[in-house]
Every structure is written in C-alpha cells, then in structure tokens.
Structure 1
C-alpha cells in the first residue's frame, strides 16, 4: 500500500502508517525524517513516497528504540545516505537490537522473542543527541524530552510549532482496546503527560494516533488508565504477591491475550508500576518461600 505525504502545517508533513513518520522539509528537495517504521518494506514505501515529492531524507531522528520505530532505518540510510540521530540509551539499542528482548526477558531470550517486533534491523547511529543539552547540529527542529515509554524517548518540534510526540501518549481507541499501554517508567510518564498538558504547540502527532490541535482529552485518558492500574495493583496487594501473580490478575482483569511477545511486554509494564509504587513509598518488599513478594504498606 502506497504511503501518502500529508501536510500538517508549513513545511511539516507526515506519512501515516501503523507508526506515523514525521517529515520536515528543509529546502526544495531535502527533508528530516522522524522515525521510519518496522521493516524494509515500510522503508521502501517511505522512500517511494518521498521520491514522489522530490524529497531526499538527509537525517533520520529516532524518537526511541522500539523496533517499530527504527526497523526501516537501515534501508532508508543505505539508499539515501541519511545520517541517523538518537539519544544515547536509544542509540545503544538501535545499534544492538538484541538488547531489547534481552532486557525484556532479563536474560538471553528464547527464539520466539527474537522477532521483528522486538528486535529491529540494526543500524549505525551517526550522532548521539546528548542529555540534558539536546543539541542537534544545525537543523531547525527542537528536541523535546518525553521520557517514560522508553528511557530516553524524545519528541521533535518543528519551526511550524508542530510536535511529533512519539509514544508519549496513545489515542483513546488504543487505551480502550489494550487497557495497559506500555510504559517502562511510570513516574517519568506522568511527568511527561503533565508537561504536554500545559504545552502550547499548534499541532500534535503521536506515532500511534491522529494529528490534533487539542490532545488534552487523549492525555487525560492516558493518565486515567495509569491511575486505574495503580489502584488495581494497590487493591490486590493487601496480601503479599509475587510479580507473576500480580501480572496474572492484571492479564485476567484486562483480558490481555498472551503470546511470547505480549508476555514480556506485560511483565515489563507491570514491573514499571511496581517500581513506581515502591519509589512512592506505597509498597514494601519481602523475601519469603524463595521469592520476592510485594505488599502495600
């Protein structure tokens, strides 16, 4: 299926797909590409769409290192010569995709986890966007910290006052469908969502959702979903439970269909809540019967 280059405002465009890719036109035929999608097929579709508009990507900015955001980097970079940029943590994973299933499983992953959804095609990152300065060469876009979904996730703000918001928030439809959106750091996710609520961009485009001038309803839906899961976990922990036992309740309550991939993502998401609640001094841990148990204080 052909991708269509859609204008948001001024020189800011996007390519709508399962992951939206941002496009900012620098001059008549050069552009910056924000995220590339899952695999080589998507990469070739992106290149065809840009070629149809007489555009060549000279830079790729990866908002974070999940496979569906960088898996097409390699083919785009090879065919266009674009330089790739990412923050240091995300750079490490983009260059070494094995790290994603490794950290999700906490050890060498079994074969079913070595799939394209968890382990993208490796691509060399030419330059790290360093925290906290977030200097970005001479390009006219601004890098916006959006930590939470991934440790050093960023957004990209263009001179047209458009924010490519990465996976900082998800559409209400996604929240309703999946109940437990994936965030690796709940504390920083909440900080990011609150900062977005007070931001004043003309347009916002999440990677999974529609372009909008008013994201507040969607952001509130994300915050509400997080608060619901917080309360669910606190409610069950009047009795000590292991992480796997907690996850089993969450899976049943939210009717999550498990696969190998969904299992490690759900366990990681639940772990993020446990870390958050422990650091908020709402939970304590105890070691008993050869296991680590969580309990409400």
Structure 2
C-alpha cells in the first residue's frame, strides 16, 4: 500500500474505496473516505507510521459503510483525529442501524445487516458538521460542495491543488458499463449535482470507486454518461408503466431487462432507486397510482 500522487500535496490510496490524502507541510494529513473497517485501515496505519504521517482530520463524503467504516479504527490509533461529515450523514454514521431501516422501509434485519456492516464494535462519532463553503484547516483552504442525490448528505471536497473528491457522485466507467442502475435517493438532486460538478473549477477528480483519477475533460464525459444512464432508466420506467404494475413487478422487469445481478442488499438498493425514479416522475406529473384488490399499481399518465 502506498500513496498515489494526484497533484501538489494531494494524494490517494487505491482500494475498493479510494481514500483521499492531503498532506500538510508538517506531515499531518486530512483523509477523505477511509473505507471499510478491517485489514485496509490496519495497512493504512502501517503506511502512515512508516511515512511519519499523522492523520489529523477525516472528511466523510457520505454515510455509507464502505466509506466511513474505518473511522473508528483510525480514531483508536490517533485519538485526536477529527471526524467530519454533513448533518444528514452524521445521523446515519452514528446510528448505522437507521440506514438499514431506511433501506428496508421497516425495522432492520440480520439479512441486510450482514451485507451492510463490517465495522467492529466501536462507535463512530462525528466531531464537526460540514457545510457547503470554505473549510480552513492548518491554514489551508478547502471547499466543501453539496452533492445531494446519491444520498441527501453527500458532499465533495476540493483541495487547493484543484483536485476534487466527489464521493459516489461518479463511479468508474468499468463499473458503470455493468451496473448503471445507480443507487440514488433523489433523482432531481442528483441531476443537479452532476451539472453543478461541471461548473466547478477543478483539474482532476478522484472517484471513490474507480481504477484511476480523471482530468476535467474525462470527468465531463463521465458526467454525461451518468446522465445518460439516468435518462435510460427513466424512459424504461415510463414505457413499462404504460401497463399498471406494482413496485416488485416493475423492479423484476428492470433487473431482467438490464441483466442486473443482485444479492439481498443490492436488491433493496435497486428498490430504493426505483422508488426515487418513480417519485421524480410523480413530481413531473408523469405517473399516477391506483389501488386494486390490495395491490398498489403505478402507471404512466396519458398526455
């Protein structure tokens, strides 16, 4: 495990979730999305010790376990490290069972928890709330950007080297080509966040899940591909709902038509996304619902 330089003092550590590292002049560091708990943070801590790096701050772009799970292990070794997250993310980071309940739409259960949570028993507390705007630490300015959509609490962080860490706003092209039914909580907010990212003055963007970082040109191309994925599923839903059907039947059609594979967790992630898509179309006054024989049926409104 080693630091991969992006530009200036901005680095990242490759992994299932790429972890951002900004090195201050005194060798203290601001970390971004430390990833899952377990072996990865142990290896990162060894690397920090070898390089004489002291983690001082951790910025979490959102609350998902594959981004925040390692915070507790890092805090145990570096008790003075400050853990940052948005207000909406803080709730789920500190009480992860609420996210499981949110995904299921009812009390969390062991089937989902086994897939979602890998952290040890240590509780993660958020020390400071991130708000959009300037964040100054160690006399260095960073910018926090709201990137709502993937989750309501999603944020990005821009370093002074003009390197943008955007969490799960974008995923790597190799993943997008296989799994383009993105996990979203709010489609409208997500589309607005994609457009917002294009307007930001950055030179490079580090994806949380991707094999390489992108320059601005490639990032814009990726943004357009993500938008195309959204429009693809919106059109599929519009077309399928010309025949009234319930959520489960529609979800089955979406999974089969796009040859998506899923486990218990991914099924409910797909279901959450589908509800977000239907809610978006409902806000556009394009779909309606009816209840027949105890069955909730959605349908595309005729124009």
Question: Fold match, TM over 0.5?
Answer: yes
After TM superposition, the structure 1 = structure 2 runs for residues 236-247 of structure 1, keeping only pairs within 5 Å, are 236-247=240-251
With structure 1 as the length reference, what TM-score do the two structures score?
0.94
Query: Aligned equivalents of 1:270 and 1:119: distance in 2?
Result: 26
Alignment of 1:78-117 (within 5 A): 78-81=76-79, 82-115=81-114, 117=116
What residue is the counterpart of 2:177 in the other structure? 176
SS of the residue aligned with 2:166? strand
Q: TM-score, normalised by structure 2?
A: 0.92
1:45-86 superposed Cα distances (whole Å, 9 cap, x missing partner)? 221222222111111010000010001010001111211010
Deviation at 1:120, TM superposition (A): 4.7
Question: Which residue is equivalent to 1:22?
Answer: 20
Q: Which moved more, 1:286-295 or 1:262-271?
A: 286-295
Partner residue, 2:269: 265
Contact in 1 for aligned 2:136/2:142 (Cα 8 Å): no
Paired with 1:174 and 1:99, the residues of 2 have a C-alpha distance of: 27
Matches within 5 A, 1:29-40: 29-40=27-38
CA distance in 2, matches of 1:232, 1:100: 28
Matched residues, number = 293
Given the alignment of the two structures, is residue 77 of structure 1 paired with residue 48 of structure 2, yes or no?
no
Deviant stretches of 4+, over 6 Å: none
- Match runs of 1:149-160 below 5 Å: 149-160=150-161
Q: List gaps (5 residues or longer) in structure 1.
A: none
* More divergent stretch after superposition (280-289 vs 135-144): 135-144
- 8 Å CA contact 1:286–1:294 kept in 2: the answer is yes
Deviation at 1:135, TM superposition (A): 5.5
Q: Is the counterpart of residue 211 in structure 1 residue 213 in structure 2?
A: yes
**CA contact under 8 A between 2:134 and 2:142: conserved in structure 1?**
no
Counterpart contact for 1:150–1:184, Cα < 8 Å:
yes
Query: How far apart are 1:257 and its partner, in Å?
Result: 2.0
**Structure 2 gap segments, 5+ residues each:** none
Alignment RMSD, CA only? 1.5
Post-superposition offset of 1:256: 1.9
SS of equivalent residue, structure 1 residue 166 = coil
Contact 1:89 1:151 survives alignment (8 Å): yes
The CA deviation at 1:118 is 4.8
In structure 1, distance between residues paired with 2:52 and 2:155? 28
* Residue pair 2:38, 2:119 contacting (<8 A) in 1 also: no
| Aligned CA distance change for structure 1 residues 237 and 261 (closer, same or farther; 3 Å) | same
Question: Could you give the per-residue CA deviations for residues 242-264 of structure 1, whole angstroms, max 9, x where no partner exists?
Answer: 11111011011121223211111
Question: Could you say which residue in structure 1 is the equivalent of 2:239?
Answer: 235
Matches of 1:77 and 1:195, distance apart in 2: 33
CA deviation string 1:140-160 (max 9, x = no partner)? 211111111111100010011
Please tell me whether the aligned partners of residues 100 and 118 of structure 1 are also in contact (alpha carbons under 8 angstroms). Answer: no
Residue number in structure 1 paired with 2:197? 196
